[in-house]
């Protein structure tokens, strides 16, 4: 099967105060397949949002893509080089092919505009050539809201503050899906919500994906949610993917000490189960990365070799031809187990 989105050696840097460039995404590779969900997990500052925004070319002004390739294969099997798209072509591609629900976006609805008007604005901005009439816009908005299990009559004429957090988040998902994109990027879509609402949204995303067949990139620091939604999981650390595999590969047999640390830090569902253990130390300063493996200073497996060389991702378990394997960037992957300290 051909990937819908292929990312190769993607690099993103931010220009900082002193005019220095700091790399926040440092050579990321992955493939996203049709109807699959890829979860990106990792601690705060690991570069998850930067990667998501980079894919859509929506970085803030200080952010620059400094290298790599993003190939999108929608209706054109040859693929389109996303990093070369410009102007109206890029705007059309965005939202109608790949849409994003931004981190913290729940409060990003314009407070003085009714939700329905914001839907209309989005559609008109991204479909400039189609002369959409009022009734048509309203019907498509209503359809998208029904898809996320919201009552259009109630929502379209409301102001954002009149909706609950969960309803606002659903409305944002409806807005992202309104042009029926093939890829939906969700950046921490449930973080500000209570557990029951989180669960309801994750269930709804599952159902929607089954109905409509889009692919998702689900960015989250919540491993439990990620494991429910994702077919594949990639762990990010200091701007790199340091482990990736199928969801069972990663959660049952993680091979990078950092992934082990993340899993062991998850509070248990049942009382009396193993107590969570947090990873000691803090992520490195991206402007002053250690020379070898960037996790080595926090890692119980680290040896001199780890401090000397930054290990590349290597296959730790092969999959049948054509399927991406389980990969980890650790010299000591063979001795890494879920039941040993990270």
In the complex with ligand ATP, which residue's Cβ is closer, 60 or 272? 60
Binding mask 97-126 for ligand ATP (x = CB under 6 A): ------x-----------------------
Out of 14, 72, 251, 295, the only residue in the binding site for ligand ATP (CB under 6 A) is: 14
- Restricted to residues 32-71, the positions that interact with ligand ATP (CB under 6 A) are 42, 44-50, 60, 62-63
Closest separation between CB of residue 104 and Mg ion, Å? 9
Q: Which of 185, 229, 224 is nearest to 206 (CA)?
A: 229
Please give the size of the binding site for ligand ATP, defined by CB under 6 A: 17
Residue with tokens 């990667």: 51
In the complex with ligand ATP, which residue's Cβ is closer, 16 or 340? 16
Phi/psi for 218 (5° steps) reads -110, 110
314: β partners:
328
- Restricted to residues 249-308, the positions that interact with ligand ATP (CB under 6 A) are 286
DSSP state of 334: G
Residue with tokens 């107590």: 275
By DSSP bridging, strand 37-41 and strand 63-72 are unpaired
Please give the size of the binding site for Mg ion, defined by CB under 5 A: 3
Closest separation between CB of residue 151 and ligand ATP, Å? 32
In the complex with ligand ATP, which residue's Cβ is closer, 101 or 156? 101
- The C-alpha angle 125, 128, 130, rounded to 5 degrees, equals 130
**Contact status, residue 183 vs residue 216, Cβ threshold 8 Å:** yes
Residue 45 binds which one of ligand ATP, Mg ion, none, with CB within 5 to 8 A depending on kind?
ligand ATP
Residue 144 binds which one of ligand ATP, Mg ion, none, with CB within 5 to 8 A depending on kind?
none
Q: Which of 326, 204, 222, 301 is nearest to 267 (CA)?
A: 222
Distances (CA, A) of 66 to 5, 52, 55, 310: 19, 15, 13, 20
| Helix or strand holding residue 187 (H, E) | strand 183-187
Q: CA end-to-end span of the chain, whole Å?
A: 35
**49 makes contact with Mg ion (CB under 5 A):** yes
Closest separation between CB of residue 92 and ligand ATP, Å? 26
Distances (CA, A) of 78 to 33, 75, 131, 163: 15, 9, 30, 43
In the complex with ligand ATP, which residue's Cβ is closer, 88 or 285? 285
**220 makes contact with Mg ion (CB under 5 A):** no
Closest separation between CB of residue 10 and ligand ATP, Å? 13
Compute the distance between CA of residue 140 and CA of residue 125 in angstroms, rounded to an integer. 15
Closest separation between CB of residue 179 and ligand ATP, Å? 25
In the complex with ligand ATP, which residue's Cβ is closer, 14 or 258? 14
Applying CB under 5 A, the span of 20-28, 45-53, 160-168, 253-261 interacting with Mg ion comes to 45-53
310-339 as b/e: b if 16+ CB within 10 A: bbebeebeeeeeeeebbbbbbbbbeebeee
Binding mask 215-254 for ligand ATP (x = CB under 6 A): ------x---------------------------------
In the complex with ligand ATP, which residue's Cβ is closer, 147 or 176? 176
Please give the residue ranges that form the binding site for ligand ATP (CB under 6 A). 14, 16, 24, 42, 44-50, 60, 62-63, 103, 221, 286
Please give the residue ranges that form the binding site for Mg ion (CB under 5 A). 48-49, 103
């Amino acid at each position: 099967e051909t990937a819908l989105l292929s990312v190769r050696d993607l690099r993103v840097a931010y220009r900082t105060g002193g005019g220095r460039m700091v790399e926040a995404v440092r050579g990321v590779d992955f493939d996203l397949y049709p109807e699959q969900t890829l979860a990106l997990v990792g601690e705060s500052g690991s570069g998850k949002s930067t990667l998501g925004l980079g894919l859509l070319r929506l970085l803030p002004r200080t952010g620059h893509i400094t290298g790599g390739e993003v190939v999108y294969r929608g209706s054109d099997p040859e693929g389109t080089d996303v990093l070369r798209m410009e102007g109206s072509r890029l705007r059309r591609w965005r939202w109608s092919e790949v849409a994003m629900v931004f981190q913290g976006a729940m409060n990003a609805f314009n407070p003085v505009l009714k939700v329905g008007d914001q839907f209309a604005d989005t559609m008109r901005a991204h479909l400039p050539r189609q002369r959409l009439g009022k009734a048509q816009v309203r019907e498509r908005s209503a359809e998208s809201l029904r898809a996320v299990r919201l009552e259009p009559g109630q929502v379209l004429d409301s102001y954002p503050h009149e909706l609950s957090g969960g309803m606002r988040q659903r409305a944002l998902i409806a807005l992202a899906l309104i042009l029926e994109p093939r890829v939906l990027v969700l950046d921490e879509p449930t973080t500000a919500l209570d557990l029951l609402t989180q669960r309801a949204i994750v269930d709804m995303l599952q159902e929607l994906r089954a109905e409509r067949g889009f692919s998702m990139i689900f960015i989250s620091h919540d491993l439990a949610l990620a494991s429910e939604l994702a077919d594949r999981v990639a762990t990010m650390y200091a701007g790199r993917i340091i482990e990736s595999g199928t969801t069972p590969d990663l959660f049952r047999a993680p091979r990078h000490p950092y992934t082990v640390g993340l899993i062991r830090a998850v509070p248990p569902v049942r009382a009396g189960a193993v107590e969570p253990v947090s990873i000691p130390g803090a992520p490195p300063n991206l402007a002053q990365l250690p020379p070898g493996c960037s996790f080595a200073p926090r890692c119980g497996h680290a040896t001199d070799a780890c401090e000397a060389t930054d290990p590349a991702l290597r296959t730790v378990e092969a999959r049948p031809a054509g399927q991406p394997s389980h990969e980890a960037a650790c010299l000591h992957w063979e001795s890494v187990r879920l039941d040993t300290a990270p």
